[in-house]
């Protein structure tokens, strides 16, 4: 597909913002990111040529959610071969028999490809629950025009191992999608572009589309599942949005360890508190500005949490090894 802007001014603005987002100072360097030449970039940004969708998405994903939504509203798509459609119709009339043979081959190819699509009603598993938990912790899913995006965000210097070695293989195994992982400044983002995944998250698991911080909850399907699956969901949540605090003040004989989880969703914090109560893991709940926090205090209670739920994110495991 090719992407067109409604006017040349908008196209120029899009490329200027993309260049700033990538932190490059020349169009030639932006061309290297896109795998093309400076002259081709000039043609794109001046509106002389339509932008290939793959290159458009590379630039779009460098921006924040608000700017992505803005630029998607002022663009439209055309098939890459739209200029040859009329000629194609005439060719079909002349070579109808051969065209129909080609279509039959294409239909068979589509049937074979369908075998590799993931099942949106797949049974719950530890991997699926950990993915959902990670999404609850620091992710979102949304629809921008014809683009369906699911993203999980983390700290580039601390979370890279978890994103590349845990989340990426989970996505490839469950959804048959190789996620696009981008790193910029101190942020790492795992992106999945799939309408099928978006619909599974929003319909099956009732995941709110777009901004979810005030309304997110642990899905009912996980709450009613086996304990090991619920624990995998909690593990994903704490892997991405949990924290381990170390208090080194003199009032403690040795560093005092805490685990915390913060969210703007009061419902989510209440769910989490009830689960910890059921697991006999002592904790406290606090208001923190516009957010709420569950805190597990002291080495004994932290050990209970590790034994019952635990982490699979190396940043947390390393800290536990060091201070516990």
DSSP reduced 3-state for 3: strand
Give the pLDDT of residue 264: 93
Q: What number is the average pLDDT over the span 115-142?
A: 92
Instruction: Look up tokens 């002259």; give the residue.
Output: 39
Cβ–Cβ contacts within 10 Å for residue 101, how many?
11
Residue pLDDT, tens place only, 58-73? 898 888 888 888 899 8
* 253 falls within a domain: yes
Do 242 and 317 lie in one domain? The reply is: yes
Least confident of 104-108, 294-298, 308-312: 104-108
Burial code (b: 16+ CB inside 10 Å, e: under 16) for 71-82 equals: bbeebebeeeee
Average pLDDT along the chain: 89
Percentage of the chain modeled with pLDDT above 70: 88
pTM exceeds 0.85, yes or no: no
Give the pLDDT of residue 86: 47
Do 66 and 86 lie in one domain? The reply is: no
Residue 101 — very low, low, confident or very high, per pLDDT cuts 50/70/90? low
Residue 88 — very low, low, confident or very high, per pLDDT cuts 50/70/90? low
Do 145 and 157 lie in one domain? The reply is: yes
Our count of domains for the chain comes to: 4
Do 207 and 258 lie in one domain? The reply is: no
Do 93 and 133 lie in one domain? The reply is: no
Least confident of 51-65, 89-103, 141-155, 177-191: 89-103
Helix axis angle, 168-175 relative to 126-138, nearest 10°? Answer: 120
* 220 falls within a domain: no
Do 179 and 247 lie in one domain? The reply is: no
Containing structural domain, residue 282: 237-323
Do 14 and 74 lie in one domain? The reply is: yes
* 120 falls within a domain: no
* 172 falls within a domain: yes
Do 92 and 68 lie in one domain? The reply is: no
Do 102 and 171 lie in one domain? The reply is: no
Question: Which one has a higher pLDDT value, 65 or 273?
Answer: 273
**pLDDT surpassing 60 at residue 89:** no
User: How do the residues of the chain divide into helix, strand and coil, expressed in percent and rounded to 5?
Assistant: 55, 20, 25
Cβ–Cβ contacts within 10 Å for residue 104, how many?
10
* 221 falls within a domain: no
* 286 falls within a domain: yes
Residue pLDDT, tens place only, 307-319? 999 999 999 999 9
Residue pLDDT, tens place only, 180-209? 999 999 999 999 999 999 999 999 999 999
* DSSP-derived pairing of the beta strands 2-5 and 242-247: unpaired
């Amino acid at each position: 597909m090719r992407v067109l802007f409604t006017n040349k001014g908008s196209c120029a603005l899009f490329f200027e913002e993309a260049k700033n987002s990538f932190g490059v100072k020349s169009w030639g360097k932006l061309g290297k990111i896109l795998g093309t030449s400076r002259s081709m970039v000039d043609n794109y940004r001046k509106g002389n040529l339509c932008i290939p969708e793959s290159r458009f998405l590379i630039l779009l994903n460098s921006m924040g959610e608000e700017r992505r939504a803005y630029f998607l509203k002022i663009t439209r798509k055309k098939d890459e071969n739209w200029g040859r459609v009329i000629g194609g119709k005439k060719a079909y009339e002349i070579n109808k028999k051969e065209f129909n043979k080609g279509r039959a081959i294409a239909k068979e190819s589509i049937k074979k490809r369908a075998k590799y699509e993931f099942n949106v009603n797949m049974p719950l598993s530890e991997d699926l629950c950990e993915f959902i938990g990670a999404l609850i912790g620091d992710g979102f899913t949304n629809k921008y025009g014809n683009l369906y995006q699911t993203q999980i965000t983390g700290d580039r210097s601390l979370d890279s191992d978890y994103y590349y070695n845990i989340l990426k293989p989970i996505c490839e195994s469950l959804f048959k999608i190789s996620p696009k992982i981008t790193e910029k400044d101190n942020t790492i983002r795992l992106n999945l572009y799939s309408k099928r995944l978006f619909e599974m998250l929003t319909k099956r698991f009732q995941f709110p589309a777009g901004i979810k911080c005030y309304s997110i909850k642990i899905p009912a399907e996980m709450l009613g599942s086996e304990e090991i699956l619920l624990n995998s969901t909690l593990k994903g949540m704490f892997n991405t949005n949990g924290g381990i605090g170390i208090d080194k003040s003199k009032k403690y004989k040795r560093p005092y360890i805490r685990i915390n989880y913060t969210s703007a969703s009061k419902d989510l914090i209440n769910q989490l508190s009830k689960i910890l109560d059921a697991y006999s893991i002592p904790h406290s709940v606090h208001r923190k500005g516009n957010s709420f926090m569950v805190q597990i205090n002291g080495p004994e209670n932290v050990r209970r949490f590790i034994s019952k739920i635990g982490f699979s994110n190396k940043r947390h495991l390393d800290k536990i090894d060091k201070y516990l």
